Amino acid sequence: MDNLFELNNIFCILLVAMSMFAAYLLSKKTLQQKTYYKEIIDNSSNIVIVHDMKNIVTANKTFFHYFKSYKNLKDFTHTHACISNFFEVEDGYLTPPEDEASWIEFLVNFKDKKHKVKMKVDGEIFYFLISASLLDKKKNIYAMILSDITEQESTKHELVSLSIKDKLTNIGNRKYYDDILNEHITLAQRYPHVFSLVLLDIDFFKKINDSLGHDMGDKVLQEYTNFIGHHLREVDIFCRIGGEEFVLILPHTSKDKAYILTQKLRMLIQNHKKIVPITMSFGVVQYEKGDDAQTIFKRADMALYRAKDTGRNKVIIG
Same domain? 54 vs 117: yes
Same domain? 7 vs 136: yes
Give the model's pLDDT for residue 255.
96
As a whole number, the mean pLDDT across the chain is 86
Give the model's pLDDT for residue 107.
85
Same domain? 79 vs 191: no
| E strand spans, the chain | 47-51, 56-59, 115-121, 124-136, 141-148, 195-202, 237-240, 245-251, 280-286, 315-317
pLDDT of 29 > 80? The answer is no
To the question of pTM greater than 0.85 for the whole model, the response is: no
User: In this structure, are residues 118 and 87 in contact, taking their beta carbons and an 8 Å threshold?
Assistant: yes
User: In this structure, are residues 101 and 132 in contact, taking their beta carbons and an 8 Å threshold?
Assistant: no
Q: How far apart are CA 168 and CA 157, in angstroms?
A: 19
Same domain? 150 vs 88: yes
Same domain? 72 vs 25: yes
DSSP bridge pairs for 56: 51
* Terminal Cα distance for the chain, rounded: 52
Contact residues for 104 (Cβ-Cβ < 8 A; gap 6+): 51, 53, 132, 142, 144
Calculate the alpha carbon distances from 61 to 123, 148, 149, 199 in Å. Answer: 21, 14, 18, 55
Task: Of 53-57, 206-210, 301-305, give the lowest mean pLDDT range.
Answer: 53-57
Catalytic residue among 88, 100, 223, 244: 244
The helix/strand/coil state of 255 is helix
Among candidate residues 133, 156, 179, the one where a domain is terminated? 156
Same domain? 125 vs 25: yes
Give the model's pLDDT for residue 3.
53
Please tell me the total count of domains within the chain: 2
Same domain? 201 vs 89: no
The helix/strand/coil state of 291 is coil
CATH number for 257: 3.30.70.270
pLDDT of 308 > 70? The answer is yes
pLDDT in tens, 226-249: 999 999 998 999 999 999 999 999
Among candidate residues 156, 188, 205, the one where a domain is terminated? 156
Same domain? 12 vs 146: yes
Among candidate residues 91, 125, 156, the one where a domain is terminated? 156
Same domain? 12 vs 151: yes
Q: Which of 105, 106, 101, 108 is nearest to 82 (CA)?
A: 101
Give the model's pLDDT for residue 209.
94
Q: What is the mean pLDDT of residues 97-123?
A: 81
Give the model's pLDDT for residue 5.
47
Percent of the chain exceeding pLDDT 70 equals 86
Annotation marks residue 244 as catalytic:
yes
Residue 34 pLDDT class (50, 70, 90 cuts) = low
The helix/strand/coil state of 35 is helix
Task: Of 37-41, 192-196, 305-309, give the lowest mean pLDDT range.
Answer: 37-41
Same domain? 190 vs 134: no
Q: What is the mean pLDDT of residues 69-93?
A: 89
pLDDT of 9 > 60? The answer is no
Contact residues for 128 (Cβ-Cβ < 8 A; gap 6+): 47, 116, 117, 119, 146, 147, 148, 149, 150
Q: Which residue has the higher pLDDT, 17 or 253?
A: 253
Same domain? 196 vs 150: no
Q: Which of 65, 46, 51 is nearest to 124 (CA)?
A: 65
Q: How far apart are CA 158 and CA 304, in angstroms?
A: 34
Q: What is the mean pLDDT of residues 283-301?
A: 97
Residue 90 pLDDT class (50, 70, 90 cuts) = confident
Residue 262 pLDDT class (50, 70, 90 cuts) = very high
pLDDT in tens, 132-175: 888 888 888 888 899 999 998 888 877 777 788 999 999 999 99
Give the model's pLDDT for residue 92.
84
CA 123 from chain centre, in angstroms, equals 16
Q: Which of 47, 38, 35, 106 is nearest to 76 (CA)?
A: 47
Give the model's pLDDT for residue 114.
87
pLDDT of 316 > 70? The answer is yes
pLDDT of 58 > 80? The answer is yes
pLDDT of 32 > 80? The answer is no
Same domain? 239 vs 138: no
Strands 124-136 and 245-251: unpaired
- Residue 169: which domain range? 165-317
CATH number for 96: 3.30.450.20
pLDDT of 126 > 50? The answer is yes
Q: What is the mean pLDDT of residues 209-216?
A: 95
Largest CA distance in the chain: 90
Q: Which residue has the higher pLDDT, 33 or 232?
A: 232
pLDDT of 270 > 50? The answer is yes
